Structure 1
Amino acid sequence: MAPSKPGGGFDLTCTLTTQALAVLRPSITVQTRYLPGGIGAVAFDQAATGRLGGSGTLVAFSSGSLLNIAQGRFGPHGIQAVRWIATLGTDYGVIAVHQESPYQTLAQLIKALRDGAPRLVFGAGGTLGSQDWMKAALLARHAGQEPRNMRFVSFEGGGEAIKALQGGHIQVFTGDAAEAMRALNQGATFRLLAVLSPHRLNGPLRTAPTAKEQGIALVWPTVRGVYMGAGTPDAVADAWTAAFTQAHAAPGYAALCEAVGLQPHRLTGAALQAFVQKSVDEYQQLAKELGLQMWKSQGLKQAP
């Protein structure tokens, strides 16, 4: 289940899941369905309340999902509301502009922000407070601007946002490298100003400079994985966890990740639970620093 419209990062997570399981067990048939709404909120609520699930239903999540949980944007559900099964890979943020944009470098875009460019509109697959909004907010803060004053348009998935960028409806796309690579491979045209990774990526995006090498200390990793409904029996969840553990160790797994623009990120079981909790704690603190409203959720520790 991709909790978005086709073409974005959740869709990509489903693609990688399908490929990884096919290598491990060719007899398994996996189909992707789409349930957009609230950038994952609808799917999470249905999984947490038992309306979405079953022994064969895996739901894609990302670091952005954990960020939304940290802010209470997924309703009254904490991290214990679903069964976290596995992470698959790490994506990294990108800053992109229209192919005919006047901005050739990240420095030029930063200067425009610093000068208060009045028509500069950001857009991505997320709402106020989402991880894509966070990338734009951190960029604005670096330019000395108040993040809450920037113009940001929300889309139901990165694929929709990239279409808007090409159509000139937004000026800056703050999405992820993998969804950008998929769009470019499918014929999309836009200019990548920076990848928000600690080093240049391999593959088709190897020519895209990092923000770090351009003097902007901005790195944004996005971990992608899958979870299951709260009512999933232990035996079923354990079986899927074992399957992904085997898939992680299978020859060629790293190549599968690289083919879709991800770096391998292999977590299951207790290590995954610890990662989820740590991520939520850190995101709560970042959200407070950026002045975002925090909604109460059950099972969450409130950052001081």
Structure 2
Amino acid sequence: MKTRLCRGHCPLLLLCLLVWAALSTGCQKQQAGSNPECIAPAKPGGGYDLTCRLLANGLQHADLIGQPMIVSYMPGGIGAVAYNQVNATRDRDPDLVVAASSGAAMNLALGKFGHYGVDTVRWLGAFATDYGVVVVPADSPYHDLSELVAALKHDPGSIVFGAGGSIGSQDWMKVALVAQAAGVAPKNLRFVSYEGGGEALGALLGHHLDVFTGDASEMAGHLGSGRVRVLAVLADHRLGREYADIPTAKEQGYDIEWPTWRGFYMGPNVSDADYERWVHKLKTLVASEQFKTRRRKQGLFPEARFGREFDRYVNHQVAEFRQLANDVGLGHEQ
């Protein structure tokens, strides 16, 4: 009976198995891109964490992804570990994006990412802009930028600066520009490097630092706390909203600006189709009202550069940063 049953139904069973296999393969192809991940190349709590979470929440609420986006952390070398990891082992991953900023461009300009250069990843896009800030504890003796500059002129070694970046990083550059305004060589400053803005801000609140340089968005949740004082925002105009009472460095007599784009890159061997798929997602997200509201609530400001236009922009910025590094005495390490 069993043999006769098999003889009668095996061709049908084989056909069903073939159909099932074909459908399974098709489903797997359709599910490509269903495990989105954003790497924040720092410890939790800083600007890269904010960038990934803004993307993850925005994509989810806009129904632009089928599954929740994973936010993972890869601190080390102020972005160097993540940059090398993506180039070496996840260079084709169609689901992976990595948070980046003008800080990454600065590190690339200085050769801090090893033998990988600006052209070894695919620059995806920027969906927000931030601005540099100079911050002290609320009980600091410095009430404005001029008082800090005066103290630097008098005794530069008496003030401990700190930021989420090493010497040469964009947050260190903010310190260097303030020092230049005081006529002090940046190399004479006391500077403590932290693995991310969240860690550096925690050190300021714990009074392990005298001055923190970071970005305005990192201060959004602290402005009304009574624990910090923002001496200046490094923009060409006052930012408005919750930052309306914070003067710019310019209006205090110091020509210092530092806008910070927030965006993403992908592995160098991601296909054009997957790259363009992510470009489209970002463009759609940035155009939505819900994202604009989320971005504003995070203390960020509009930015919209995507795809090849953004790639050209980052390459140009890296070249500009190399010149700036020379101007403050760092030179180019590559």
Contact 1:97 1:193 in 2 (8 A): yes
Task: Specify every segment of 5 or more residues in structure 1 that has no aligned partner in the other structure, as ranges.
Answer: 297-304
Q: Which residue of 2 aligns with 1:255?
A: 293
Describe the shift of the 1:282–1:117 C-alpha distance in structure 2 as closer, same or farther (beyond 3 A): closer
Which runs of 5 or more structure 2 residues have no equivalent in the other structure? 1-38
CA contact (8 A) 1:197 1:210 kept: yes
Q: Give the Cα–Cα distance (whole angstroms) in 1 for the partners of residues 55 and 226 of structure 2.
A: 24
CA positional deviation for 1:51: 4.0
Structure 1 residue 203: Cα displacement:
2.5
Task: Check conservation: 2:157, 2:190, Cα contact below 8 A.
Answer: no
Alignment of 1:132 with 2:134, yes or no, is: no
Cross-structure match for 1:3 = 41
Whether 1:118 aligns to 2:160 is no
Bigger CA radius of gyration: 2
2:4 alignment partner in structure 1: none
Q: Residue 177 of structure 1 is aligned with which of 202, 211, 216?
A: 216
Q: Does 2:283 match 1:232?
A: no
Alpha-carbon deviation of 1:247? 1.2
Counterparts in 2 of 1:15 and 1:116: CA distance versus 1, 3 Å = same
**2:69 is matched with which residue: 19, 23, 30?**
30
Aligned residue among 114, 120, 123 for 1:75: 114
Higher helix share: 2
* 8 A Cα contact 1:2 1:33, kept in partner: yes
Give a deviation string over 1:112-151, Cα, whole Å, max 9, x none.
Answer: 0111243201000000000000000010011000011111
Matches within 5 A, 1:1-304: 1-25=39-63, 27-51=66-90, 54-184=93-223, 189-296=227-334
| Equivalent position SS for 1:174 | strand
113-122 vs 84-93, which moves further: 113-122
Distance 1:293 1:20 in 2: 39
- Note if contact 1:21-1:28 (Cα within 8 Å) is conserved in structure 2: no
- TM normalised by structure 2 equals 0.85
Matches of 2:45 and 2:71 in 1, distance apart? 12
Q: How many residues align?
A: 295
User: How far apart are the structure 1 equivalents of 2:276 and 2:90?
Assistant: 21
Corresponding letter in the other structure for 1:165: L
Please tell me whether the aligned partners of residues 49 and 230 of structure 1 are also in contact (alpha carbons under 8 angstroms).
Answer: no
SS of aligned partner of 1:209: coil
Residue identity in the other structure for 1:101? S
Q: Which amino acid aligns with 2:180?
A: R
Any runs of at least 4 consecutive aligned residues in structure 1 with deviations exceeding 3 A, and if so which?
A: 182-185
Q: SS where residue 118 of structure 1 aligns?
A: helix
Distance 1:273 1:289 in 2: 25
Comparing 274-283 and 175-184, the one that deviates more: 175-184
Shift of 1:82: 0.9
Contact kept in structure 2, 1:203 and 1:258, CA below 8 Å = no
Asked if the contact 2:157–2:188 (Cα under 8 Å) also holds between the matched residues in 1, the reply is no
Structure with higher RCO (Cα < 8 A, 6+ apart) = 1
Report how far residue 188 of structure 1 moved: 7.5
Once residues 59 and 123 of structure 1 are traced to their aligned partners in structure 2, the CA distance between those partners, rounded to angstroms, is: 25
Query: Quick one: distance in 2 between partners of 1:117 and 1:235?
Result: 53
Structure 1 residues 17-53: Cα deviation after superposition (integer angstroms, max 9, x where no partner): 1233124326441121100001101000111223466
Q: CA deviation at 1:252?
A: 3.8
> 3-state DSSP class of the match of 1:265?
coil
d(CA) in 1 for partners of 2:259 and 2:168? Answer: 16
* Distance (Å, rounded) in 1 between the aligned partners of 2:240 and 2:59: 24
Identity in percent: 45
User: In 2, Cα distance between the equivalents of 1:19 and 1:159?
Assistant: 20
Aligned equivalents of 1:248, 1:108: Cα separation in 2: 40
2:103 aligned counterpart, secondary structure:
helix
Q: CA deviation at 1:176?
A: 0.7
